[in-house]
Amino acid sequence: MRDGFVYNGLPIRVIFGDGTLARLPEEVERLDRKRVLILSTAQQRDQAERLAELLGKRAAGVHPAAVMHTPVAVTEKALARVTAEGIDGVVSLGGGSAIGLGKAIAVRTGLPHLAVPTTYAGSEMTPILGETDNGIKTTRRSGAILPTVALYDVALTHGLPAAFSVTSGMNAIAHAVEALYAQDRNPIVSIMAEQAIAALVRALPGVVADPADPAARTDALYGAWLGGTCLGSVGMALHHKLCHVLGGAFDLPHAETHTVLLPHAVAYNAEAAPDMAGRLAAVLNDGSRVEPQPGGALQSFARRLGAPTALRALGMPEAGIDHAADLAVQSPYWNPRPVERNAIRTLLARAWAGDAPITP
């Protein structure tokens, strides 16, 4: 703080609440859109069809073709439809996959994008787009990628399976954790990060106990919004880099990979980022439980909720550990503690086996 800070507010309209989907037609009208295309994955096609009914004649159709990692070929097919059908806006309904497709279309066409998130991944709040082409994932950042509107409806999250809610919630916690030690961190984002972690740590046990618990679901989605805001506002470091490397090299599932790695990344950085470590430990340790290492406390939290704690359980081959360590140190990036290959290899080997996190 003594060194001052820079804070950039994200220019996005956010609507949050229970039952807010009913307000989507007025949002589309507000933007004077007459033919919007609704984007979803195949799994959420029925939900997208219901959304089209809600929008009535302002909905031109449903495009249920979104998949993970935003392949350019999928975007190009959707773009052909946008042009052929005179589409004047897109609505993405779903998690990071559907929202990624919405961003890919918006950045190429300049059309407004209304995102309706149904997971806790947070993509709706970021000006970041990761796309894959011929097996290579590239990520870019631009104001034109940030959606115009993010409409959060707690009711839409009740159907998110408990197990995925936990890993997706850990994905949101990861954004907040890295925001606490980001090179460009600032007081507002740190407040949001702390609140994000607290809301999700409070909410996820309640979601597991009863996936339809409205209070737990509200808290979890609120934490996800804050976590997404952190991701969209400041730079990330080792943890996100490792997830990106492993996701790309071994096609590992996004939220689960975040869940397994985060405790290890926290342990790696804990000494170099005492503010993060202190805040995280304070949130995770209630009166009944005290685990001084925040990485260990986070892994225990995830394990209690039934989440995976080993990369091998996600399908990563043991022989890939060295390759992943090489990739992780290939292009330098900022991290509170220097990124050293031997220490990263130890981290990855422990995460692969499901061992307790240590500071390597």
For ligand NAD, give the closer residue by CB, 235 or 360. Answer: 235
* Residue 251 Cβ vs ligand NAD, minimum distance, rounded to whole Å: 11
* Residue 292 Cβ vs ligand NAD, minimum distance, rounded to whole Å: 31
For ligand NAD, give the closer residue by CB, 48 or 349. Answer: 48
Residue nearest to ligand NAD (CB): 96
Nearest-angstrom CA–CA distance, 155 and 60: 24
For ligand NAD, give the closer residue by CB, 154 or 349. Answer: 154
> Each residue of 153-191: b (16+ CB within 10 Å) or e?
bbbbbbebeebbbbbbbbbbbbbbbbbbbbeebbeebbe
Binding residues for ligand NAD (CB under 6 A): 41, 43-44, 68-69, 94-98, 100, 118-119, 121-123, 126, 128-130, 156-157, 159-160, 168, 231, 254-255
Nearest-angstrom CA–CA distance, 110 and 90: 11
For ligand NAD, give the closer residue by CB, 118 or 293. Answer: 118
* Residue 106 Cβ vs ligand NAD, minimum distance, rounded to whole Å: 12
What are the φ and ψ backbone dihedral angles of 340, each rounded to 5 degrees?
Answer: -110, 135
* Residue 52 Cβ vs ligand NAD, minimum distance, rounded to whole Å: 16
For ligand NAD, give the closer residue by CB, 160 or 281. Answer: 160
* Residue 100 Cβ vs ligand NAD, minimum distance, rounded to whole Å: 5
* Residue 105 Cβ vs ligand NAD, minimum distance, rounded to whole Å: 14
Spatial CA neighbour of 281 closest among 194, 185, 179: 194
Taking the CA atoms of 231, 232, 237 and 239 in sequence, report the sign of the dihedral they define: positive
CA-CA distances (angstroms) from residue 347 to 83, 146, 182, 265, 277?
A: 48, 33, 20, 8, 17
For ligand NAD, give the closer residue by CB, 33 or 254. Answer: 254
Run of H or E residues at 130: strand 128-133
